[in-house]
Amino acid sequence: MRRGGGHRLPVCPKCSLSIISRENQEDTMIKKMAETIGVGLLVLSGTAQAAFQWNLPTPVTRIASEIYDLHLIMMVIILAVFVAVFGVMFYSIYAHRRSVGHKAAHFHENTTVEIVWTIIPLIILVGMAWPATSTLLALKDASSADLTIKATGYQWKWGYDYLKGEGEGISFLSNLATPQEQITGSAPKGEHYLLEVDNQLVVPVNKKIRILATANDVIHSWMVPAFGVKQDAIPGFVRDTWFRAEKEGVYRGQCAELCGKDHGFMPIVVEVVSPEKYTAWVDEQKKKMNAAADDPNKKWNLVELKARGEKVYAANCVSCHQAGGQGVKGAFPALDGSKLANGPRGRHIEIVLNGKQGTAMAPFGKLLSDTDIAAVITHERNAWSNKTGDVIQPSEIKSARK
Amino acid sequence: MSAVIDTGHAHDGHEHHPSGIMRWITTTNHKDIGTLYLWFSFTMLLVGGMLALGVRLELFKPGLQFWHPEFFNQLTSMHGLIMVFGAIMPAFVGFANWQVPMMIGAPDMAFARLNNWSFWLLPIAATLLIVSFFVPGGAVAAGWTIYAPLSTQMGPGMDLGIFALHIMGASSIMGSINIVTTILNMRAPGMTLMKMPLFVWTWLITAYLLIAVMPVLAGSITMLLTDRHFGTSFFNAAGGGDPVLFQHIFWFFGHPEVYIMILPGFGIISQVIPAFARKPLFGYSSMVYATASIAILSFMVWAHHMFTVGMPVAGMLFFMYATVLIAVPTGVKVFNWLATMWRGSMTFETPMLFAVGFIFVFTMGGFTGLILAIAPVDIQLQDTYYVVAHFHYVLVAGSLFSLFAGFYFWVPKWTGRMYDEKLGKWHFWLSMILFNVTFFPMHFLGLAGMPRRIPDYALQFAEFNEIASIGAFGFGLSQLLFLWIILKVTVLGRGEKAGPRPWEGADTLEWTHLPSPAPYHSFHEQPVVK
């Protein structure tokens, strides 16, 4: 619904002219009323412009459309019951009032009626649950998938590994792409505010995609409403779900299980493309991955490592330890001037690799390459007021992993 | 039965008790303790409400304007904990304290000193919860459901929260034992179980539920505590545990807990409707059976809170069908209330308004519950605002409105004065309308896919959130009107004098055998019920 012409009343110009020319009080009143209504309509059309979404999103998988229909059928039944039951209640409120002189009857039991209103709802309820059963069976059947992708929930991003099928071996992290300025309000919010990522999941259309959901730290949940998919990602366990998208396009969802501070900031974006486009994407990814692989024997210098480390820090560390390394008092420790970042490097490497039990500090060893970890530690030990001058080589991380 | 003997020392109209603050600290009188419970829960309602307004303030517009995300999580979590354990549950215990002895013709609760202890544990627990905001890392921020392993990550605020829950659990268990003992042993001669007022029945069943599930909660949070501090791995996969185990144990407590918060409400409504329809409750025995069925079924449906964890399909089917079954006894209750109203001679004073409003809005919550019970649909709606809308329809429009109805209904008996009817009606209409303005749009937000517990949201959710926030502030402010109504009729003692039976259709013992206000010691001679 775009902006309607509601603010201007469909008044014939001749008539309105004649109204004005007469200029008696009554007409001025009419005019004022018309203006008020016009303004009212303008407000209404203004809000109608906004995205009021009243129902589930348009489904693009068979499961999602079955769910859509199930919900619709249930709503119809429920509304019918609602109207019947409250029709009776409001009639009674209207007719059986003392103020209209109604005298109270004295009945208080009727076994037949009791049995009837136990049995009928039972039938209706089973009638509602029955069609849901077949949908549920289909929804839980993740067998014979064309493509298997592992989705790993991290605090607070998603990681994707293409495990089986075309594109096997592709692996990347998917971070929120909305800039901080938009969130704090110092920049205008974009169209896909909070629902945009740096690397989106790409899958081919009309193929059965099996998602293996797991997590690295706490429970997350992988949700894409248009697919009718929501699967909790549980640390230490792998649970599966699946979808077969029938329409190309970009579909957006969010983490659906409270997972700490940035729970609201780890969206899921899935791009469904044609098979040809998908093949092209796979090739491109493979090339990129080969190019990105670092020579393990390369000796890095401080400047190179710091530059790379700053980027790694911005993608992984900044949401807790903050841009200035000052942390958040009482919740996330500071790195700037901290004992850890200025003390022995072995301890620093160990914490970054293995995380800290019982805190939000994740074991980044599972998440980042040796070079990235070496870079980010080098950055942390030489940024802000930290001036250790330490240069951590990837080889050092490699040996620390053992 | 020491309490029975004690009443032998009481003389008509003489009130033997210390005055000032010591009266309240040392009291063993069920009416005093009931009053304490009610004031405590109302205070918690206001505190929890303020936290909720903090949440709605942040969600008024997209973007982060007021709170850090971690503080926002503390607001939602503490709002839930305080409302469930601090406001709704103690409020019903307050009603039980005031009403159960008077309705069964008993002089007091069975264990009068235990009663005092059950209450005074609560302010201690509440203090712990409030203090937890000020410890490093802040208060509980893992949701009121404190799912592991997120809750094992939290700071000392979580330990304070766990300790507070333990204390409140102990308080609930003691209170329940007291209520069960009182109801089973201290009824007036002639009052058989099937002659008890329905409010007493619902509390008897609720008390059994509490005794059954509070230890389960205590177990789960103790396991959490040892996971946090003593190296156990109940909920940690790396040590051989399972995070989902926590959810199973929590919801085995949590689902009966839902009924703990609504069954006494059903009881209140079952007293109010007949009184204002001037007609006996329709289907008394089926009401009792329906209540019992709901309680029993409540132990078999817990995993419908967990349809998205990835259960075997057989498990999902079982929990789906079992959950749907609960609608049957619940429906029976609604139909019985309607049949009670049918061909009555109704008047609509504030208690009746809230009772009818309760039926109307609670049923909507029941319907959305039904939709959520259907597992495939729940996959779409789980952890979205649809769930938030659903449980506020049953907990605010359900439990809270029934508490309002009960307050207006019984306050003449408690104080001997009538509340301000005009303001009461304002309170009803404001609450009813603004409640719906707040929570109805949340259904649409959930359908559109807005997750729960997020401090900021995509632009497509902006309009409904704005409406909900406006409604929430209105609803919150309307409760200040309620505060004024309470103060007026209690502390200030203003309002018309009430006769012993201000509601002509009310026929339980407190109305027929006791003056208003009910004397400090009532029924030292038990009435005989025919």
Residue pLDDT, tens place only, B20-48: 889 999 999 999 999 999 999 999 999 99
For residues B142 and B457, give the distance between their C-alpha atoms in angstroms, rounded to a whole number.
19
Q: What is residue A34's predicted lDDT score, i.e. its pLDDT? A: 53
Q: Do A189 and B286 touch (CB under 8 A)?
A: no
Segment among A183-192, A286-295, B470-479 with least mean pLDDT = A286-295
Beta carbons of B454 and A264 less than 8 Å apart: yes
Q: Are B282 and A107 in contact (CB under 8 A)?
A: yes
Which residue has tokens 């990550």?
Answer: B153
C-beta of residue A242 within 8 angstroms of C-beta of residue A142? yes
How many CB pairs below 8 Å do chains A and B form together?
A: 310
Which pLDDT belongs to residue A119? Answer: 94
Is the predicted pLDDT of residue B16 greater than 80, yes or no?
A: no
Q: Which of B30, B31, B56, B333 is catalytic?
A: B333
Does residue B346 surpass a pLDDT of 90? yes
DSSP state of B84: I
State the helix-helix crossing angle for A345-354 and A370-382, rounded to 10 degrees.
130
- Distance between CA atoms of residues A15 and A199, nearest Å: 61
pLDDT value of residue A32: 54
Q: Going by C-beta distance under 8 Å and a sequence separation of 6 or more, which residues neighbour residue B273?
A: B281, B337, B340, B341, B352, B355, B356
Q: Select the more confidently predicted residue: A318 or B313.
A: B313
- Given CB atoms, is A325 within the 8 Å cutoff of chain B? no
Please indicate whether, in this complex, the C-beta atoms of A236 and B238 are within 8 angstroms of each other.
Answer: yes
Split at pLDDT 50, 70, 90, the class of A4 is: very low
Q: Do A225 and B451 touch (CB under 8 A)?
A: no
pLDDT at B391: 96
User: Are the beta carbons of A253 and B449 separated by less than 8 Å?
Assistant: yes
Across the interface, of B377, B383, B463, the residue whose CB is closest to A257 is B383
Instruction: Give the rounded percent of residues in chain A with a pLDDT score beyond 70.
Output: 87
d(CA A351, CA A349): 6
CA terminus-to-terminus distance, chain A: 61
- Give the mean model confidence (pLDDT) for residues B490-509: 92
Q: Which of A92, A103, A180, A326 to mutate to test the interface with B (most CBs of B within 10 A)?
A: A92
Question: Residue A148 CB: number of other CB atoms within 10 A?
Answer: 19
* β-bridge mates for residue A252, sequence order: A269
Q: Which of residues 112-171 of A touch B (CB under 8 A)?
A: 113-114, 117-118, 121-122, 125-126, 128-129, 132-133, 135-137, 139-140
Q: Has residue A183 got a pLDDT over 60?
A: yes
Distance of alpha carbon A232 from alpha carbon A222, whole angstroms: 6
- Asked whether the beta carbons of A244 and A208 are under 8 A apart, the reply is yes
- Quick check: is B452 catalytic? yes
Question: What pLDDT does residue A358 have?
Answer: 67
**Length, in residues, of chain B:** 530
Residue A194 near residue A178 (C-beta atoms within 8 A):
yes
A47 pLDDT above the threshold of 70 = no
A132, B320: Cβ pair inside 8 Å? yes
Quote the minimal CA–CA distance from A309 to chain B in Å.
26
Section B410-429 average pLDDT: 96
Average pLDDT over residues B308-316: 94
> Is A70 in CB contact (< 8 Å) with chain B?
yes
Which residues in chain A are closer than 8 Å to B284, comparing Cβ atoms?
Answer: 108-109
pLDDT category of residue B436 using cuts at 50, 70 and 90: very high
Q: Which residue, A135, A276, A133, A256, is CA-closest to A207?
A: A276
Neighbours of A169 (CB within 10 A): 11
The reply to whether residue B309 touches residue A239, judged by beta carbons under 8 angstroms, is: yes
For B282, the token pair is 């329709």
Q: What share of chain A in percent tops pLDDT 90?
A: 53
For the record, the structure tokens of B483 come out as 């505060």
Q: Which uninterrupted H or E stretch holds A197? A: none
State whether residue A110 sits within 8 Å of chain B by CB: yes
Q: A56 in contact with B at a CB cutoff of 8 Å?
A: yes
Across all residues in chain B, what is the average pLDDT? 94
CA dist B78 and B140 (Å) reads 7
For residues B456-475, average pLDDT: 96
Residues A151-165: what's their mean pLDDT?
94
The DSSP 8-state label assigned to residue A112 in this structure reads H
pTM above 0.95, yes or no: no
Look at A203-217, A243-257, A373-387, B90-104 and tell me which has the smallest mean pLDDT: A373-387
- Is residue A363 less than 8 Å (CB to CB) from chain B? no
Q: Which is catalytic among the residues B187, B228, B255, B427?
A: B255
| A76-111 residue pLDDT tens | 999 999 999 999 999 999 999 999 998 989 898 899
Contact in structure between B29 and B37 (CB atoms under 8 Å): no
Q: Look up tokens 């209170």; give the residue.
A: B175
Q: With b meaning 16 or more CB within 10 Å and e meaning fewer, what string describes B274-312?
A: bbbbbbbbbbbebbbebbbbbbebbebbbbbbbbbbbbe
A236 vs B382: CB contact, 8 Å cut-off? no
Q: What's the rounded Cα separation, in Å, for the pair B393 and B429?
A: 16
Q: What is the mean pLDDT of residues A193-218?
A: 95
Interface test with A, best of B330, B335, B504 (most A CBs within 10 A): B335
Residues from chain A contacting residue B448 (CB–CB below 8 Å): 53, 55-57, 225
Contact (CB, 8 A) for A195 and B451 = no
A29 falls in which pLDDT band (50, 70, 90)? low
Q: Which long-range contacts (CB under 8 A, 24 or more apart) does A340-349 make?
A: A341/A380, A341/A381, A341/A386, A341/A388, A342/A381, A342/A386, A342/A388, A345/A377, A345/A381, A345/A388, A345/A390, A345/A392, A346/A400, A348/A377, A348/A380, A348/A381, A349/A373, A349/A377, A349/A392, A349/A396, A349/A397, A349/A400
Q: Which H or E run contains A150?
A: strand A147-154
What is the pLDDT averaged over residues A278-282?
96
More confident: A396 or B341: B341
B302 and B255 in contact (C-beta within 8 Å)? yes
What's chain A's length in residues? 402
Cβ–Cβ gap B447/A126 under 8 Å = no
- A188 Cβ under 8 Å from any chain B Cβ: no
In this complex, which of B62, B150, B321 lies closest to A129 when CB atoms are compared? Answer: B321
Give Dmax over CA atoms of chain A in angstroms.
Answer: 97
Whole-number percent of chain B with pLDDT over 70: 97
Local confidence band at A394 (pLDDT 50, 70, 90 cut-offs) = confident
* Res. B347: pLDDT tops 50: yes
Kindly report the number of other CB atoms within 10 A of residue B409's CB atom: 26
Cβ-Cβ contacts under 8 Å for B386 (sequence gap 6 or more): B368, B372, B442, B443, B445, B446, B447
Respond yes or no: is residue B425 known to be catalytic.
no
Q: Are strands A220-224 and A147-154 parallel, antiparallel or unpaired?
A: unpaired
Q: Which of B259, B337, B393, B410 is catalytic?
A: B259
Distance (Å) from the alpha carbon of B320 to chain A's nearest alpha carbon: 8
Q: Name the H helices within B461-508.
A: 462-489
CB-nearest partner of B367 from A54, A78, A137: A78
| A222: closest chain B residue by CA | B308
Task: Clarify whether B457 is annotated catalytic.
Answer: no
- What's the pLDDT band for A383 if we cut at 50, 70, 90? confident
CB A219 within 8 A of CB A234: yes
Lowest mean pLDDT among A312-326, B298-312, B442-456: A312-326
Q: Which of B30, B79, B279, B390 is catalytic?
A: B79
pLDDT bracket for residue A397 (50, 70, 90): confident
Check residue A13 and give its pLDDT: 41
Backbone angles phi, psi at B374, to 5 degrees: -75, 110
State whether residue A240 is helix, strand or coil: strand
Residue B316: its pLDDT value, please? 95
Where residue A33 falls among pLDDT bands split at 50, 70, 90? Answer: low
User: Which tens digits make up the pLDDT trace of B49-67?
Assistant: 999 999 999 999 999 999 9
Q: A4-18, A149-163, B317-331, B343-357: which range is least confident on average?
A: A4-18
Q: 3-class SS at A210?
A: strand
Which residues of chain A make contact with B325, given a CB cutoff of 8 A? 122, 125
Q: Is A44 on the interface with B (CB under 8 A)?
A: no
Please list every residue in chain A whose beta carbon sits closer than 8 Å to the beta carbon of residue B62. Answer: 189, 193-194
CB–CB contact B308 A232 (8 Å): yes
Selected residue of B443, B454, B461, B467 to mutate for chain A interface (largest A Cβ count, 10 A): B454
Q: Which residue has the higher pLDDT, A13 or A69?
A: A69
Give the residue carrying structure tokens 């392993």: B149
Average pLDDT for B95-100: 97
Q: What is the per-residue burial (b if ≥16 Cβ within 10 Å, else e) of B213-252?
A: bbebbbebbebbbebbeeebbbbbbeeebbbbebbebbbb
| Band (B14; pLDDT cuts 50, 70, 90) | low
Q: Are the Cβ atoms of A102 and B346 closer than 8 angstroms?
A: yes
Share of chain B above pLDDT 90, in %: 92
What pLDDT, on a 0 to 100 scale, did the predictor assign at position A5?
A: 36
Query: What pLDDT sits at residue A193?
Result: 94
Taking the CA of residue B119 and the nearest CA in chain A, the distance in Å comes to 33
CA dihedral B146, B320, B269, B254 (to 10 degrees): -20
The pLDDT value given to residue A332:
82
Interface test with B, best of A220, A232, A328 (most B CBs within 10 A): A232
Chain B residue with minimal CA distance to A361? B153
